[in-house]
Chains A and B, each alone.
Chain A
Amino acid sequence: MKRTAQLLTFFAVMLLTVVAFAAEPLKIGALFSVTGPPSFLGEPERNTAQMVVDEINKSGGIKGRKLELVIYDTAGDATKSVQLANKLIKDDNVVAIIGPSTTGETMAVIPVVEKEKVPLISCAAGSKITDPVKPWVFKTAQNDGLAVAKIFENLQKNKINKVAILTVSDGFGASGREQLKIHAASYGMSLVVDDTYGPKDTDMTAQLTKIRGSEAQAIICWGTNPGPAVIAKNVKQLGIKLPLYMSHGVSSKKFIELAGDAAEGIILPSGKVIVADQLPASDPQKNSLIGYVQSYQRLYGVEGDHFGGHAWDAINLLRRAIEAGATTRETIREQIEKSSNFAGIGGVFTFSAQDHAGLTKDAFVLVRIKGGDWQALE
């Protein structure tokens, strides 16, 4: 009798430890610039990441294992990002990190994760993040080069080969300018005006007057709000009739609201998320996109944008890796690298040992602004 009791106690204790062990959540770190200048990236990214993790946990976790998201705000500061990355790795003992939001911060964090061997899924767009490939670094934001290619293709189709570029003098604009210059030659484009403007500038008529006086046949503007909205207004004010192209940096409703009537007719490459409802049912991303946009709308009252989409893709890449049985840093890295045909928000991802960005230029669609809304071209 006593022996049975002992045995029962033993099993009970065993059971409890197993339960306790199984309930131990898997820790995922996140670095987003929720405040600071890039907060337009970090805020939707944080909201999205939290939303997806909550959804996973509500449905019982992955194979019974819950996720715990540890989010730190980098305020757009590279030094702070490095400190926080170290904290995530050493104090919080996370199995993977998503973020940071910007290319500058990501480049600063890369040496840390490479040394500590922790998988990092960046939400920033700069091509140099994954070129050359670093074993532990992945990214979900589309390369700027893909957006440039999309614009140049359209220009080629319209038999335009002299363009003026007007880029913002920050990281995003500098990267866009670099890509525009690199790709120009292969598409037979000559950049007749190469001008910049400051991120806080409030009047760009001077630069545009110069462009009006040149032989440019189209204008490409590369920046994030509010600069491009000012440019759209200035273009209208000066009566410039050249086609105006913008970057994916303004593919949010906010841009149309700011530029008002001046936004009409502007063409820009964008992630598919803003035209989710216009996509054919055969599009592999359609389900993910509609699901994301709706749940974000339900939770936060605004439509999910493609910046938040980068975080959605990052968390879901992790989810797939963990579903495939990976629970350690090493195995998660291996599983992400093996991910293929994952239809997310930013595009259809297929990673390999040679490609840690995983997207092709089909990740972008060209849209035209018409009647205050997006209209998919082609």
Chain B
Amino acid sequence: MNLTDQLTQYILSGLSTGAIYALIGLGFAIIYNSTGIINFAQGEFVMFGGMLGVYFFHKQGLALPIAFLLAVVVTALCGVIFERFAIRPLRRPTPMNMVIITIGGSIFLRGVAMIAWGKDTHVLPTFSGDEPISFAGATLLPQHLWIFAITILLIIGTKLFFSHTISGKAMSACAVNRRAAGLVGIDVRRMIMFSFILSSAIGAMAGIIIAPLTMTSYDVGVMLGLKGFCAAIIGGMSSGLPTVIGGLLLGVLESLGAGFSSGYKDAVAFVILLLILFFRPQGLFSRGSSERV
């Protein structure tokens, strides 16, 4: 086993974890752009996706695709309820209020999951078998291909949605200037709710596609949420390619970090986060403030 093979393995492993971070980061960015809120409950939506997937598949005995779909729908519904009852009632929200509310919401959602499904770790079966696939001296599981495929589809999907549909454009408008968007007749509230639906659904999908590999339990959302947040920060909170690249970058650096000196894996993510917040708060890829959607 030579060094190049090891390196390929580190990078491939990193990309597959990074793809997940990218999806979660995208969820952060979408809500941030339409509401200006950093939704710290995003990680909990990911957890809900995974846990609901487990619930529908194991407890209700549904087929995996149906369980997948139901889990996404129910999580999106949770997103709506969360927006309706935790975010909207605030008349004049300050960023601090919002941060505290979403953190409180995340603790609440975690508690609900713990009471509903217990403290155990659960697992879903892989979507198509466990036979490793060799690729340039490294190995992957079919599930990794699923992760890549779904991530790419979702990214293309959101891109198309924002640039080619009326709703998407309306959401972009809210991001640029909420008041002006309201003045031209865009229902800002509906757009905010839309953004919650979108990002909780994306989060749920991320939660389900990784559950066969990484397992899921009521408290997986914390770490995943932070990593996704980190990806979004690297990408300058853009709900497009920069956040995706941020996620992939983070995943690869973590994997390399763990490969060369394990124990510093999480430190890698947080050191990057801090450095970027210090030196390039607008993100790695943008120049000054620019359009973010």
Contacts and interface: CB of A to CB of B under 8 A. Distances in A.
B139 A210 contact: no
Given A206-B259, A226-B215, A236-B130, A39 B9 contact: no
A14 to B, nearest CB: 52
Interface stretch (B78-86, B157-165, B262-270): B262-270
Contact of A229 (B1, B123, B257): B123
A204 B263 CA distance: 11
Contacts of B17: 202-203
Interface string B186-225: 0000000000000000000000001001110100100100
A241 to B, nearest CB: 12
A225 interface: yes
Nearest to A262: B130
Contacts of A159: none
A86 B255 CA distance: 46
Q: What are the 9 tightest A-B residue pairs by CB atom distance, in nearest-first order?
A: A202-B214, A206-B258, A206-B259, A205-B13, A226-B121, A213-B1, A226-B215, A209-B9, A195-B262
Interface in B1-60: 1-3, 5-6, 9-10, 13-14, 16-17
B171 interface: no
Contacts of A239: 132, 134, 139
A202 B141 CA distance: 15
A40 B119 contact: yes
A196 B263 contact: yes
A261 interface: yes
B291 interface: no
Contact of B123 (A40, A198, A200, A257): A257
B113 interface: no
A261 B126 CA distance: 11
A209 B259 CA distance: 7
Interface residues of A, number: 35
Nearest to B214: A202
Nearest to B16: A203
Contacts of A257: 123
A254 B121 contact: yes
B219 to A, nearest CB: 8
A206 B17 CA distance: 12
Contact of B9 (A205, A225, A233, A262): A205
Nearest to A194: B262
A169 B121 contact: no
Given A196-B263, A238-B139, A39 B119 contact: yes
Interface string A176-219: 00000000000000000001111011111111011011000000
Interface in B111-134: 119-123, 125, 130, 132, 134
A203 B122 CA distance: 16
A202 B213 contact: yes
Contact of A200 (B3, B9, B120, B220): B220
7 contacts: A40-B119, A207-B259, A212-B6, A213-B1, A213-B6, A237-B141, A238-B132
Interface in B73-94: none
Given A203-B214, A239-B132, A258 B123 contact: yes
A197 B1 CA distance: 22
B139 A225 contact: no
A197 B262 contact: yes
B103 interface: no
Given A230-B215, A239-B132, 13 more contacts: A39-B119, A196-B263, A202-B17, A206-B255, A206-B262, A207-B259, A209-B259, A212-B6, A213-B3, A226-B215, A233-B130, A237-B132, A237-B139
Given A200-B223, A229-B123, A239-B139, A206 B256 contact: yes
A159 B91 CA distance: 72
Nearest to B130: A261
Contacts of B265: 197-198, 201, 206
